[in-house]
Amino acid sequence: MTEQTCVRCGARTPPYDAVNAASSDGTYRLLCSRCFNEDMAQWADIVGFEHPQFTPVRLLDMDGGSHEFHFRSLLLGDQLSLEAFELAGNDESEGYRFQILDEPRSDPFVLLGKLVQKMMRALATKHLREDADGLQVADTMVRGRIEWNGVEDVRQPCVVIDGRRVEWNDFGAILMAFEGWQFRLELLDPSDEA
């Protein structure tokens, strides 16, 4: 993973902790999350905002699989976003990802507690199972995240279910076990409880 340099403070930062922020002149600047938050606090007139940083945590899923989560906090004007995500090599469209939003002056440790609870609830559920026929829906509900499949000039998604990337065609094949069934598709903001 190639580190990037924040144009404001000069810090070397991993790509997941960098923000491409628009300037008033229409150009973009690469900022570390700390500098981005400082700029946003100034723009939103939030005095005394402190950039929260958290140590990565390791949580187990229902099968005993271990998942290491990193955290990023971003001040989005009138909201503070706290995100947790797995690093899956250089591919940002894999692994679990969670987000919670609250007021900018929220206690970041209270937010962290809420986010970890959300993560633990998600890790306690499996939506896919694997058998001799390959991946199957474990029950009758599947929750996941829509991502870009990474192929240039192709507007086709992939999905991430149980922290596992599933290509769109493979997901379609999984659903064929339910041919003739009805379905309901509900799209939720990443900060909502799925």
Q: What is the pLDDT of residues 13-39, one digit of tens each?
A: 988 899 999 887 889 999 999 999 999
Cα 170 to its chain centre, rounded Å, is 22
Where is 64: in which H helix or E strand?
none
Task: Report the alpha-carbon distance of residue 180 to residue 159 in Å, rounded.
Answer: 22
Any idea what DSSP says for residue 171?
Answer: H
Q: What is the DSSP string of 37-63?
A: HHHHHHHTT-TT--------EEEE-TT
Structure tokens at 89: 């090599």
Cα distance between residue 40 and residue 98, in whole Å: 22
pLDDT digits (tens, 9 = 90+) for 43-94: 999 998 989 989 999 999 999 999 999 999 999 988 999 999 998 765 565 7
